[in-house]
Structure 1
């Protein structure tokens, strides 16, 4: 493989000097996308620069992707990271880009470097010209007050000629200053464009061959910024900094960015075509499945508790936790953000109880409490153990697939689909799940409970079907779970109080 072609290996985590984890291992196989993009940009940004839109929906690992990419190339190329959202207090995106570039690149040069001294002087002139806009932005961010909206109340009296003349002269002087500041700023920008190219060259030269062009500039969180600021930032990058040997990677949820553009130009505005003007190409990271998304979070944030094996269906390993959450999220077509919220609620309950429970039921109750409250309320209020919920389910408006349960001798009943011939499946439809658990976790009189267990025993003894015998065991296990209907209701009401 040529030395100029990289093939990133992110299979192992990156540790900092203290031994703590800086970046986890790449469980989503994103390294191959970063390698592909890097090799492409390293060639195509040499002449005329390159502005790439890295499009990824929320939850697709966008920030991890660009930070791990930066970590992989910091010893090969000059690298700059700009968090646009953290700096949108400024009314001047030009200032954000210039200061970020200068600060990041300057750290790689000694203070006495001549190029650094030149650019420091010229950037000071630019910042002086931009200071009024920056001050207004800081005031607005801090106190919510727009200085442009402040007006002096009342009118000048006719006989206040001296004051009137003085204000007229002051206004003319202010106008001249504003024109001069504007011209100074434009002149400084033109200087700075050339000086930034020189600064990149100086950084590469100072590293004595360790670094090479192009420089990689990553702009993140632009879709979270104020709409006007986001649009102006794109204008700045496109018109002023599309320079030789600079690759800009603007990471966004492009759909959200289009909403920002429409907020500025109107709902009927063709935001997609407009944004296309700013980027040479758009590259979209593939959206994760809910299983991949939950698995990625579980690996780093969930500590498996062996007591979860006692649940029905059993969470016999961490992968069962991942599956039960992702299955419920799939059935109700949750977004990745909603899936993460569902997972947070589930973890919150599991960390607050030692009772045994049905994980499918708890997760379903979370969802229908938020999205189909009439169905949730019907389940909460149901007192008849044979209550049928099919009428309320039919009003949901879309098909909800079964909730899979498989039986394996080693682990018992688990929440997964297994296609092996020796494995039996006990899939439940939503109505069956709600009705069965309404029966099992409601209050039982001791005599009625004993009678139900005896019925299961009789069915087991008379049946010649191994599957039916296992189903009798499954129902008895559900009946013996320690969580009551009141417990499920309390857990749901507690957990849904988390802000969305």
Structure 2
């Protein structure tokens, strides 16, 4: 199975297959490894499955390895809390107790705890609306109009007083955080870092409340919040609350002071690590392919052509792992494994076309018409093009055999979105020869294997 990348405080970049190191060093120089007297909220943006959580974990371990104080908060994990501020408070309390152990800090710690617990009680109590408390009792009659007005006036006056008290409590709570953050700044020459992960997985009301709490209560001098999110997903969530005309950019400008996009890089090294853990460690043979083909391996090229995210790649690898446990006749033939991997990408990115493969009705004509136009354009790089030639030769040869073609050796070239691919005739012939050991019904049934296994959770 694929496990999370091992990230340690001693060497956080030891397994940096996503090439985040330089980017994180630059980020830390700007936002962490220096005193920051003001508050800051930094957004880390990236699409789903591009490694945001890995980036944040490396960032955390790198900072902690330099003796900086970091709080890591998984917003989705604590979504069951009525108010996200409650969970963050407990994380902050734990961190302050851990790092501020001297007696001279006892008073400020007690102030933080006092105002924090009072604030939490206030949040919980005020979650009950005044209407439900009885500002208006529907059973009152017209004869009681005067009493109703008096009751409303009394309760509204109480509400105003409560709001005044709440404002004072918020100010005291925020001030106590700022005092502790100032101490941390002085002790470490760095701000208190609070990392918020998995925000875009939260239900829209919870995500919104968390952002508002951060901006209006927790953003105090000496604290830097680092919040990771997929802007498209967050936009979709907020539009469910505010409608399709909601301006996500305008909203985030009010919340986020700085926005940083994580590097969006294709990492062949990541795929190879993933393959080593799932494929090679389970005795599944991946042919390195003859170096005379001069190509990147066809698995990695599939990632490029279909823009497969890191999570997408893990999903397919999990299926290969399960397939190997049940049908080693497929996983021991590298050409079929390439085909199976390619089908996994189609299932994720183009499910309607995948159904043609699944039903056994795929033809080269349908492939040219429906699959090729949907593929990501290739860079004019000799290594990538070489890998694409291997991949397409394998896939098209198998499709030809499924169609019942006796001589797929006539496959010589293909124009892929403006890039001309030349097929190695020896490769095409070898694929045909190896496939003759498989019945055509077996080739047609390979896509159905994706339906035989559960969809894996990659969290």
- TM-score w.r.t. length of structure 2: 0.73
Question: Residue 317 of structure 2 corresponds to which residue in structure 1?
Answer: 343
Q: Secondary structure at the match of 1:14?
A: coil
2: CA distance between counterparts of 1:150 and 1:325? 62
Q: Secondary structure at the match of 1:185?
A: helix
Q: Does 1:330 align with 2:315?
A: no
Question: Residue 7 of structure 1 corresponds to which residue in structure 2?
Answer: none
Change in Cα spacing, 1:335 to 1:438, as seen in structure 2 (3 Å) is farther
Considering only CA atoms, is the larger Rg found in Structure 1 or Structure 2? 1
| Alpha-carbon contact 1:379-1:438 (below 8 Å) kept | no
Q: Secondary structure at the match of 1:267?
A: coil
2:168 corresponds to which of 184, 187, 196: 187
Question: Residue 475 of structure 1 corresponds to which residue in structure 2?
Answer: 432
RMSD: 4.7
1:373-428, Cα deviation, whole Å (9 max, x unpaired): 5675467546xxxx95314641447165999xxxxxxxxxxx99379xxxx96951
| Alpha-carbon contact 1:13-1:24 (below 8 Å) kept | yes
Deviation of 1:494 (Å) = 0.9
> 1:345-424 alignment to 2 at 5 Å?
345-356=319-330, 357=333, 358-368=336-346, 371=350, 373=352, 376-377=355-356, 380-381=359-360, 388-391=363-366, 393-396=368-371, 398=373, 417=386
2:47 corresponds to which of 41, 45, 57: 57
2: CA distance between counterparts of 1:147 and 1:326? 59
| Alpha-carbon contact 1:219-1:251 (below 8 Å) kept | yes
> Which stretch of structure 1 is more off in the superposition, 114-123 or 125-134?
125-134
Aligned residues: 421
2: CA distance between counterparts of 1:228 and 1:301? 38
Deviation of 1:126 (Å) = 1.3
Q: Does 1:82 align with 2:69?
A: no
Q: Secondary structure at the match of 1:52?
A: strand
Change in Cα spacing, 1:50 to 1:27, as seen in structure 2 (3 Å) is same
Runs of 5+ unmatched residues, structure 1: 1-10, 137-145, 317-321, 404-414, 441-451, 457-466
Runs of 5+ unmatched residues, structure 2: 291-295, 379-383, 410-423
1:101 corresponds to which of 83, 92, 102: 92
1:123-166, Cα deviation, whole Å (9 max, x unpaired): 222122112256x7xxxxxxxxx998999xx96386998xx999
Deviation of 1:54 (Å) = 1.4
> 1:213-252 alignment to 2 at 5 Å?
213-252=190-229
Task: Pick 1 or 2: higher relative contact order, CA cutoff 8 A, min separation 6.
Answer: 2
Point out the structure with the larger helix share. 2
Question: Residue 443 of structure 1 corresponds to which residue in structure 2?
Answer: none
Q: Secondary structure at the match of 1:273?
A: helix
Deviation of 1:349 (Å) = 0.9
Deviation of 1:299 (Å) = 5.0
Question: Residue 47 of structure 1 corresponds to which residue in structure 2?
Answer: 37
